Amino acid sequence: MIQVKDLHKGFGDVQVLKGITTTFEPGKTSLIIGQSGSGKTVFLKSLIGLHTPEEGTIAFDGRVNTKFTNEEKRQWRQEIGMVFQGSALFDSQTVEENVMFPLKMFTDQSQSEMLDRVNFVLNRVNLENSNYKLPAELSGGMQKRVAIARAIVMNPKYLFCDEPNSGLDPQTATVIDNLIQEITDEYKITTVINTHDMNSVMEIGEKILFLKNGIKAWEGTNEEIFKTDNEAVVGFVYSSNLFKKVRVAYLNETN
């Protein structure tokens, strides 16, 4: 569980995050949404320790990250998996080498132990027998699955994803969404996803946090977002005619 309390973060005279309080629970996919400039990226970077807040706390299962000793910080970083927007794979390394990289960095496992773990996670993301391929030989969706395999190879407690569907076609994006949700549920990971993809919001948004101008403007589930009368949320999520029709159809069906 990640508990965020009264989080403030600014740069110079610009205050980006303005007192955000929320909780992300294990075994649930939590999505952060909002317009560009709403504070989503700064919030995500604060969660993973790349930004230090001026005020407020972020607690990981009761442990406040700004109070960690160096050893505690090292241990905490091993509990975190990260899926970057562009996958961030090493171009000159094979799939196997990319996924094995965290194990080499943070464990003293033998080569055979690392290989067993790599094969396990590659199988879990349906990439068995892809060990020796280079990233350039993979489709965008396969690269995302390699990135997810690398993110979970250390068996993390917390998984963070920055626009995991960026650049993917709708069908492949759905596959990635379902994979993240399945892994989250299966291993009871606390998963936080930064996204612009409204399909993801509707499909896997077990918790949705809507940021506007650095504040928490709304939070709820993908079912509650259909029913909300929050004008900022409705204006953002249902900005297209298609989603407006989807919302109307849902409300007519449930009323």
- Specify whether 72 is located in the same domain as 104: no
In this structure, is residue 7 part of a structural domain? no
In this structure, is residue 17 part of a structural domain? no
- Specify whether 209 is located in the same domain as 130: no
- Specify whether 38 is located in the same domain as 94: no
- Specify whether 103 is located in the same domain as 162: no
In this structure, is residue 103 part of a structural domain? yes
CA distances from 115 to 82, 83, 95, 97, 120 (A): 20, 21, 12, 10, 8
In this structure, is residue 166 part of a structural domain? yes
- Specify whether 135 is located in the same domain as 193: no
Q: What does the pLDDT profile of the chain (255 residues) look like in tens digits?
A: 999 999 999 999 999 999 999 999 999 999 999 998 899 999 999 999 999 999 999 999 999 988 888 888 888 999 999 999 888 999 999 999 999 999 999 899 999 999 999 999 999 999 998 999 999 999 999 999 999 999 999 999 999 999 999 888 989 999 999 999 999 999 999 999 999 888 898 889 999 999 999 999 999 998 898 888 888 888 888 877 777 777 777 777 776
- Specify whether 39 is located in the same domain as 112: no
- Specify whether 131 is located in the same domain as 213: no
Q: What is the pLDDT of residue 185?
A: 95
User: Domain residues for 99?
Assistant: 86-155
Instruction: Look at the chain and report how many structural domains it folds into.
Output: 2
In this structure, is residue 221 part of a structural domain? yes
- Specify whether 125 is located in the same domain as 188: no
CATH of the domain at 234: 3.40.50.300
In this structure, is residue 68 part of a structural domain? yes
Q: What is the pLDDT of residue 36?
A: 87
Q: Is the dihedral of CA 121, 148, 104, 68 positive or negative?
A: negative
Bridge partners of 57, per DSSP, are: 5
DSSP string, 76-89: HHHTEEEE-TT---
In this structure, is residue 105 part of a structural domain? yes
Q: Three-class SS of residue 185? A: helix
The distance in angstroms from the start CA to the end CA of the chain is 35
Q: What is the pLDDT of residue 54?
A: 93
CA distances from 155 to 32, 114, 171, 182, 185 (A): 23, 13, 27, 14, 13
- Specify whether 139 is located in the same domain as 167: no
- Specify whether 41 is located in the same domain as 94: no
- Specify whether 112 is located in the same domain as 235: no
- Specify whether 221 is located in the same domain as 195: yes
